Amino acid sequence: MLLILVLVGLNSCSDDPTSPEGTADGTTGRLQIYLVDAPAPYDDLESLEVIFSEVKVHAAGKEETDPEGKGEDGNAGWITVMNDTLPESARTFDLLELVGGVKALLGDFELPAGHYTQLRIIIEEATVHMAGETYPLTIPSGAQSGLKLVGGWYVPPDGETSITLDFDVNKSLIETPPGSGNFLFKPTIRMLQTMLTGTISGTVTPSGIGAVVSAYDADADTLVTSAFVDTAGAYVLHALTPGEYDVEASASGYETARTEEVEVEGEQDKGDVDFVLTPLSE
């Protein structure tokens, strides 16, 4: 079975057409990769731990000199930035901890300055803890070939850039058949360049009711991303491209609230998008 990927094209950090495809003088920059998470589909889900074994990035310009990416070692253009020589604890992340605006730093890497076109991640293992039970997750093809995300970003000389990987656990975790305890982990991921996106944040009252806040494209009315509200009632919707969004807050036993046409700009937070939920009438 093919892994499901939602790929959001990234633009260059720089709109300058003279920006180099790569630098010949050996200058370097830094790339930070962050993880964020959308809500999970099960109320009794306690954790979803993912262990990464390898992360690679692909330098631009290699397609022209080696279009099939073979090279002498079969790996032309790819640079390994993380591998399993790191302690397992440094490569393990609980996606369900990424609520209330929390992001996890997958890595901060030094790279040759220039343009990059792809990211490849290999997941070694994933485990879900639900209702006191532990279930290993089957990862179709993921441990063998990895997840290849196509986009583009620019690492400036002596500077830094960052990208965000938004795991949609709601679409990624599949129990088949339902109630069997047999889970597939088919990662659905949005990859965006952080500086080209903005956020929406606010609070949901009352707190501690398991509320979820979702952003919908205001024109297409399609779901873009969701986030759990933390125990204090705060939330942040990450990695939103500039535009207008309808924002919705919902919780079991409460009427859904909605704020329409919230405008998001790049590198800015649209704050104070707050909600007060009313209990459903019995």
Taking only the tens place, the pLDDT of each residue in 222-278 is 988 888 888 899 999 988 999 999 999 999 999 999 999 999 998 899 999 999 999
The CA R_g of the chain, rounded to the nearest whole Å, is: 20
Residue 2 to residues 145, 186, 187, 200: CA-CA distances in angstroms?
A: 11, 8, 10, 32
Residue 71, pLDDT score: 42
Domains in the chain: boundaries = 1-13+27-195, 197-282
Which tens digits make up the pLDDT trace of 162-189?
A: 999 988 877 788 888 877 778 888 888 8
What number of H helices and E strands is found in the chain? 3, 20
Average pLDDT over residues 4-18: 36
Whole-angstrom distance, CA of residue 42 vs CA of residue 181: 12
**Global pTM?**
0.73
Confidence of residue 41 (pLDDT cuts 50, 70, 90): low
Residue range 197-282 in CATH 2.60.40.10: yes
For tokens 């990424």, the residue is 98
Between the two ends of the chain, the Cα-to-Cα distance in Å is: 45
| 131-140, 201-210, 250-259, range with the lowest pLDDT | 131-140
User: φ and ψ at 145, to 5 degrees?
Assistant: -105, -15
Whole-angstrom distance, CA of residue 41 vs CA of residue 37: 12
More confident residue, 160 or 144: 160
**Mean pLDDT rounded to a whole number for the chain:** 81
Structural tokens at position 137: 């997750």
Confidence of residue 55 (pLDDT cuts 50, 70, 90): very high
Residue 112, pLDDT score: 92
pLDDT at 76 over 50: yes
